[in-house]
Amino acid sequence: MSVAIVAMLAGALGAHGFAGGAPLRTRVARARTPHTVVVRMEAPDWIGAAAHSEACKDPPTVLNAEQIMAILPHRYPFLLVDKVVEFEPGKRCVAMKKVTANEEFFIGHFPNRPIMPGVLQVEAMAQVGGLVALQPPISNAGGGKGDFFFAGVDGIKWRRPVVPGDTLTMEMELKTFKERFGIVKMVGKAYVDGKIALEGEFTFALVKAKE
């Protein structure tokens, strides 16, 4: 085998070889035969569960699942917000959705390549917007009283697929609220591992609860 071919093999193994979820290191050493090289695979340093858990820990919870359900009318399997990690009343909200392999929509979307449907990503972001709109000072009653409907979306762009194991971290920010007409406009972005997955502008119709 030529030096060039074996070197290419070493590069491929270095890019795609994995052990325990971490890439294998490769060491290329020239053998005594002039036109061959020896590729040795070296396992990476073991990190361990505690270090991975520390690196992946969530920020402190502001609203948990029970508190979210006290505000939003959605329930399983259509409640798409797990926790709120940052909240500014009447202005903006950051929330998380942990996407697991057990989501019902993965049964058909798609059986051999599970991807979270784009429309459900938009719906999840709308629910984050609802957490802002259905509480004071936007909603007069708060606590999930009142109705919140989609009125339009604009400029929606998907930047990457969302798959099982991802955590979709979403931020919705209120831009305008026309109280007389109950029209709420927001902008939102969603991220996976710090990289943007979805962004767009949202318009909602808010029907306040009767006092």
**Which residue among 35, 52, 74, 109 is the active-site one?**
109
> Is 52 tagged catalytic?
no
Q: Which of 199, 181, 179 is nearest to 189 (CA)?
A: 199
Separation CA 184–CA 91 (nearest Å):
11
Q: Are 39 and 17 in contact (CB under 8 A)?
A: no
Q: Are 182 and 131 in contact (CB under 8 A)?
A: no
Q: Find how far residue 136's CA is from the centre of its chain.
A: 27
Total length of the chain: 211
- Which amino acids are annotated catalytic? 109
